[in-house]
Structure 1
Amino acid sequence: MIKAILIFNNHGKPRLCKFYQHYSEDTQQQIIRETFHLVSKRDENVCNFLEGGLLIGGSDNKLIYRHYATLYFVFCVDSSESELGILDLIQVFVETLDKCFENVCELDLIFHVDKVHNILAEMVMGGMVLETNMNEIVTQIDAQTKLEKSEWFEPILLYGDWYSRRPITFFIHLKCALICSACFSTYLCTGWLSRSAGPGCVCRKEYESS
């Protein structure tokens, strides 16, 4: 079982932390510092796995890592996992990131952390490996991205001016709850001119029917 997946840079700054067992926040920070200390002091020509730190389980667990440029990718696993299998999984993870972000770098993990977590969730769930096929993972991520775009923005036809009834097309945010300036009730934002009551609000229907 995979207990934790940690990504940090050469200075020990965490860029992604995913724990599959419960640890308090303080313990998580200590595990990150301990893991960085164990991994960063190793020479480049030694093997890529070693015994886990005391906080993550000691000799019953292993740290398996790869070092890419400025980032360490570390998987904390128990004795049931294959070292070589996890090394391959790290490679698949990095290659998938590289394909999704087109030459991935540390900044991508900082500014697109949600997408990185989504990619990881396609590969590992509850500490168990779900998928190792990079093409399948990328396909699922692309589908998620298209779905998010279709959910959050869509073109609709609204009356931009309720007096002249001139139609205007808006790209609207579908998940923004606002308060109607006319009746002060809460409604779902669908794009409107600020001088009039918002579309979707009850007072607009009453206004139009009068």
Structure 2
Amino acid sequence: MIRAVIVMNTQGKPRLLKFYEFQPPEKQQELTRSVFAVLSGRPDNVSNFVEADAIFGPGTRLIYNNQMKTTVFMYVELGSSYVQMHTILDEIIFGGQVLETSSERVLKAVEEISRLEKSSSSVSFVPKSVSGRFGR
């Protein structure tokens, strides 16, 4: 599960803060400062995944990317599926364009994709008439 999305400049000034769990403003500032302290000292040639147990609690990870003097990062639970995280982000952003801003619509789309994936795992994509013809 994505817990927060934060965009900040290279000096650590937040440009966008979106917490998906309630955090008082003081806690948001503290978390943002802690994240900046961790990320500002990282070289460019290391992984964009950082264990965040000390900042956000056990089982969390920061995922970040530096673009045009801004840093975009999320923190997520380790139990979350990376495929699910990408599905959620793909419903929101595609090719750099924001597709959907309604969290309800995104949630409905992700639930529908999940339902289709579960139902398609038990169904053969080859029609019986074709599979029967080739002796399957």
TM-score bracket, shorter-length normalisation: 0.5 to 0.7
Q: Which has the higher contact order (CA 8 A, sep 6+)?
A: 2
SS at match of 2:39: helix
Q: How many residue pairs end up in the alignment?
A: 106
For residues 39 and 94 of structure 1, the distance between their equivalents in structure 2, rounded to whole angstroms, comes to 26
State the match for 2:3 in structure 1. 3
TM-score (normalised: structure 2)? 0.63
Q: Which amino acid aligns with 1:8?
A: M
Q: Which residues of structure 2 form unaligned runs of 5+?
A: 111-136
Distance 1:24 1:18, change over 3 A: same
Aligned to 1:61: 60
Please state how far the C-alpha of 1:129 moved relative to its aligned partner. Answer: 9.3
Instruction: Supply the distance in 1 between the matched residues of 2:72 and 2:108 (Cα, whole angstroms).
Output: 16
1:77-133: per-residue Cα shift (whole Å, max 9, x none)?
11122457647848x748434xx6xxxxxxxxxxxxxxxxxx6734x56xx6956xx
> 2:21 aligned with 1:21, yes or no?
yes
**Aligned pairs (5 A) from 1:119-158:** 121-122=101-102
Same amino acid, percent of matched pairs: 28
Structure index of larger Rg? 1
In 1, the alpha carbon distance for the partners of 2:100 and 2:15 equals: 13
Mark the runs of 5 or more structure 1 residues left unpaired by the alignment.
101-118, 132-210
- Alignment correspondent of 1:51: 51
Q: CA RMSD, aligned part only?
A: 3.0
Do the aligned partners of 1:65 and 1:87 also contact (CA within 8 Å) in 2? no
Partner SS state of residue 54, structure 1:
helix
The answer as to 2:50 corresponding to 1:70 is no
